[in-house]
Amino acid sequence: MKYFLNLLSSIVLFILLAQVGRSAELAGIEIDCHKYYDTVTINTSEYIKPKVMLLDNPSRLVVDLTGIKIKTKTFPKIKSKRITKVRTGSSTRIVFDLAYSVDYEEASIFGQNKVVIEVRDKSRPYVHNLQEEPAADPVAPVMEVKKVAPQIVRVERVVVREEVESDNGRGGSQTRPYSKVLKGKIIVIDPGHGGADPGAFGIGGLVEKNLTLKTANYLVEFLKQQGATVYLTRKKNVKIDLAEVTAFTNRIDADIYVGLHYNATYNSRMNGTETYYYTARSLKLAEIMHKNLREKLGRRDNGVRRAKLYTVHHALMPAVIVEPCYLTNPEEANLAASDRFLKKVAAAVSDGIKEYFNGGNRKDTKVKH
Ligand SMILES: [Zn+2]
């Protein structure tokens, strides 16, 4: 009997140790400080579902990362108007002490093991008017985020069609038809997720990686028809490392990068279209892209948002990520289940790209020779 108990306790201990060994870790926290809001990005080694709460007396935002091991006890100081201090509350809780009471919006980035919390001033409207503030705010990293070293690129090339328009020798100005605006432009289309990384799961069995690929295929056709040189980061259900995508995009010196994603959250009422960018050079593309998505899809306008997502952060050219709708919202999941809607998304993105390269208008333009 004693032997049996010893054996049993050994098994229990082994299971406990296995649990400890498996627990996810906090990989880093970044805080981007803005005039009206701060973006807090919490990176973890595995996907987790955090619990975010605002508490009073004193004002603080707490984030419970259940199942996460927080090893760090102290966090360096940050330069934010509203977040005065970052500290640990308990073994799984991070506390953001606040200078005054705020609003917040939380978004888990599926497949990227990160939680993005926008902490914003109460007087600030929900949709940002990003033109009011400088896009290239200084970044205040709190902890280093683990970075993946770029490797050999496995990105597949779809088509190359570089047609240089013949010089008519007359000089002066000439009309460039709006339909020809994409000729020779190098565009990288990146259907989010793939392979072992499914991205978001939506209502009715929707899987983000499949929808992004379908949308990308429609989009490539639209862009090819207009003479663009298009690179698709994946043609199949495979996972391509984000660092590889970015390294490739930078190496070929693409004109723009467009990442395709579909959104998801735990709140099924959340719906609408968002467009993400990070660098100042990407803001114009983000705004024009967002306008086209809003007009053509007619979903709720969640605004153009600045977030430090890997590809848009590291791209050296204008780079955006589109999130046309929420797969976790019944109405939008129903839409996203139809190829017709995905094609509509592709058409909106294609129109956005076209308008961007035409300087933000939809007419034929005079070009100087
Ligand atoms: Zn995604």
For the cut 60, the answer to whether the pLDDT of residue 111 exceeds it is no
The structural domains of the chain, with segments of one domain joined by +, span 24-141, 156-366
The backbone torsions φ and ψ at residue 290, rounded to the nearest 5 degrees and listed phi first, read -65, -40
Task: Assess: ipTM above 0.95.
Answer: yes
The predicted structure's pLDDT at residue 129: 28
CA of 98 to the centre of ligand 1 (A): 30
CA of 328 to the centre of ligand 1 (A): 13
State the helix-helix crossing angle for 339-357 and 283-297, rounded to 10 degrees. 140
CA of 207 to the centre of ligand 1 (A): 10
CA of 320 to the centre of ligand 1 (A): 13
CA of 321 to the centre of ligand 1 (A): 9
CA of 164 to the centre of ligand 1 (A): 36
Report which DSSP code applies to 207: B
CA of 211 to the centre of ligand 1 (A): 10
- Among 110, 114, 122, 103, residue whose Cα is nearest residue 266: 110
Over residues 146-182, the pLDDT tens digits come to 333 333 344 444 444 433 344 444 555 678 889 899 9
**24-141 matches 156-366 in fold:** no
CA of 319 to the centre of ligand 1 (A): 15
> How far is it, in rounded angstroms, from Cα 51 to Cα 44?
14
For the cut 80, the answer to whether the pLDDT of residue 202 exceeds it is yes
For the cut 90, the answer to whether the pLDDT of residue 276 exceeds it is yes
CA of 172 to the centre of ligand 1 (A): 46
CA of 112 to the centre of ligand 1 (A): 8
The predicted structure's pLDDT at residue 146: 35
CA of 326 to the centre of ligand 1 (A): 11
Find out whether 230 and 223 touch, Cβ atoms under 8 Å.
Answer: yes
CA of 206 to the centre of ligand 1 (A): 13
| Distance from the first to the final alpha carbon of the chain | 94
- Among 319, 314, 288, residue whose Cα is nearest residue 181: 288
Q: Is 223 helix (H, G, I), strand (E, B) or coil?
A: helix
Half-sphere exposure of 25 (CA within 13 A, CB side): 9
Q: Is 94 helix (H, G, I), strand (E, B) or coil?
A: strand
The predicted structure's pLDDT at residue 145: 33
CA of 285 to the centre of ligand 1 (A): 19
CA of 228 to the centre of ligand 1 (A): 25
Average pLDDT over residues 52-71: 88
The predicted structure's pLDDT at residue 107: 67
> How far is it, in rounded angstroms, from Cα 132 to Cα 331?
33
CA of 241 to the centre of ligand 1 (A): 13
CA of 174 to the centre of ligand 1 (A): 42
Cα distances (Å, whole numbers) of residue 198 to 193, 310, 349: 6, 17, 22
Domain 156-366 -> CATH class? alpha beta
The predicted structure's pLDDT at residue 123: 56
The predicted structure's pLDDT at residue 137: 33
CA of 5 to the centre of ligand 1 (A): 49
CA of 262 to the centre of ligand 1 (A): 6
CA of 3 to the centre of ligand 1 (A): 52
Over residues 317-365, the pLDDT tens digits come to 999 999 999 999 999 999 999 999 999 999 999 999 999 999 998 888 7
Domain 24-141 -> CATH class? mainly beta
